[in-house]
Amino acid sequence: MTAEAANAPPRDDEGYLLDPADWSESVAESLAHQEGLTLTDLHRQILRFMRTYFEEHHIAPDARYVIRFLANELAEGARAKTTLFALFPYGYVKQACKIAGMRRPRAWSTG
């Protein structure tokens, strides 16, 4: 077991945090590294939006809310969906939700 894995919060068999309250930006960096991603400022803005949404609504935001955030708040406009999936190439649920410290959304079959 690596030192990184030894210090990681508990996760399920798919690598999602068991308790979203265990999330921090350093946890996000570690999870991103395990997903083969290097977080940029844009990644971090999306993750912070997701965390804020989660804290307000107690559920992970659907991808359409993140796309709307990208389009409106970060001026990505029509490129928002393409941008989201370029930043998280293995999918919104598989990477963005995991790195943001969400539990795997069970109602979503793809992402």
pLDDT band at residue 109 under the 50/70/90 scheme: very low
State the fold for domain 15-99: Arc Repressor Mutant, subunit A (1.10.10)
Is pLDDT above 60 for 4? no
Domain boundaries, the chain: 15-99
Q: What is the pLDDT of residue 99?
A: 97
Q: What is the pLDDT of residue 7?
A: 64
76-111 CB burial, b ≥16 within 10 A, e <16 = beeebbebbbebbeebbbbbbbbbbbbbbbeeeeeb
Q: Are 111 and 50 a contacting pair, CB within 8 Å? A: no
Q: What is the pLDDT of residue 6?
A: 47
pTM summary value: 0.87
pLDDT in tens, 72-103: 988 888 899 999 999 999 999 899 999 999 98
Is pLDDT above 50 for 3? no
pLDDT in tens, 23-65: 999 999 999 999 999 999 999 999 999 999 999 999 999 999 9
